[in-house]
Amino acid sequence: MKVSSTSKQLVCILALATAGSEPLIACSFDTGGAGGGGGSTSSTSSSTTTTTTATSASTSTSTAASTSSGSTSTSSGSGSTSSSGASSSGSSASTSASSSGSSSGGSGCTTTIGELGDAGTAKLITGFDNATATTGWSYYPAATTGTYAIVPGDGHTCPPALGGTITSGTFGSTVFLQFSYATAADWSAYKKLHLNVKVVTDATNYASLASLAGFVNSGGFAKSAPGGTTNVRGTLDDGKFHEIVYPLSATTLTLAQINVYAIQLTYAAAPVTDGGAPATDGGSSATDGGSPATDGGAPAPGSVTVEIDDVWLE
């Protein structure tokens, strides 16, 4: 076939070398006849390979052929333009992928308020993300024997959490693991306090624990109240995180001046004793909140760890 191009003609010949082989197309510019002359440029291509030999007079043609073939190219001269473009595109994609991987995997786990509540209105107080210090935390009463520290391998959404291990608990007592603000916080825009907590102790020791609750002190320590009381036995005795919801709007707290928030751990009352013989009622051992009657006095509660994580306002 012949294609006119102003004063030149592009002549292409389709040929089969052998039956069943790939077709070959040979093209050249003809400035004075079908045979071409010294100014002609030839290009031969197949469906898988394009080989281009270009002169300075045929830069635009060989580039177009290389671009339109969509095949893997080996080229010299002007064909290097197409090759350079593909390399640039590949480099760009590689840079993008590398950048994406770096940004997603370069930092530790971070808790976002969207994982817990409405990102538009809720506020994350602390998720303990990457925390290494316990500044602001303490026990009340001050005489409480125990430790509290960051627990690096545990957490509600992201590790770590804060863990308090109490060894001096007694039946019927209450212990607080509390955070004290250096400057009072303003919670007047919020209605609920959420605390994610976990109780860890020996399986037989859960019976010595009555409940966990949130606790808030406000107004220059003038108004305080517990809230969101949750039973340990039957709810918190599975060693998993559970959420306690404290209804701030249902209290008389001074929400514009919050001094302390805390977890309040209440121990069960001491098991019933009768001075030597197990108490019975119709053949069953008497119990007090799940603790069996004892003879000769009840042993003191064992060590218990309370973990806290993801504290937020709704």
The residue among 173 and 2 whose pLDDT is bigger is: 173
Range in 84-88, 141-145, 159-163 the model is least confident about:
84-88
Q: Kindly report whether the global pTM for this prediction surpasses the value 0.75.
A: no
| Residues 165-203: b if buried by 16+ CB within 10 A, e if exposed | bbeebebeebbbbbbeeeebbebeebebbbbbbbbbbee
Least confident of 46-60, 150-164, 262-276: 46-60
Give the long-range contacts of residues 55-62, CB within 8 A, separation 24 or more.
58/29, 61/29
pLDDT at 113 over 90: no
Where exactly are the structural domains of the chain?
A: 2-104, 113-313
Give the model's pLDDT for residue 300.
85
Q: Determine the pLDDT at residue 109.
A: 85
Phi first, then psi, for residue 254 (nearest 5°) are: -90, 90
Question: What is the CATH number that goes with domain 113-313?
Answer: 2.60.120.260
Backbone angles phi, psi at 116, to 5 degrees: -115, -40
Least confident segment among 56-60, 175-179, 232-236: 56-60
Percent of the chain with pLDDT over 70: 58
Per-residue pLDDT averaged across 188-203, rounded? 96
What is the C-alpha to C-alpha distance for residues 268 and 170, in angstroms, rounded to an integer? 9
**Which pLDDT does position 27 carry in this prediction?**
60
**Predicted local distance difference test score (pLDDT) of residue 55:** 37
pLDDT band, very low/low/confident/very high, at 212 (cuts 50, 70, 90): very high
Q: What pLDDT score does 101 carry?
A: 29
Contact, 83 vs 107, CB < 8 A?
no
- What confidence score (pLDDT) does residue 131 get? 84
Identify the band that residue 13 occupies on the pLDDT scale cut at 50, 70 and 90.
low
pLDDT at 42 over 70: no
Taking residues 272-281, what's their average pLDDT?
56
Return the higher-pLDDT residue of 154 and 36: 154
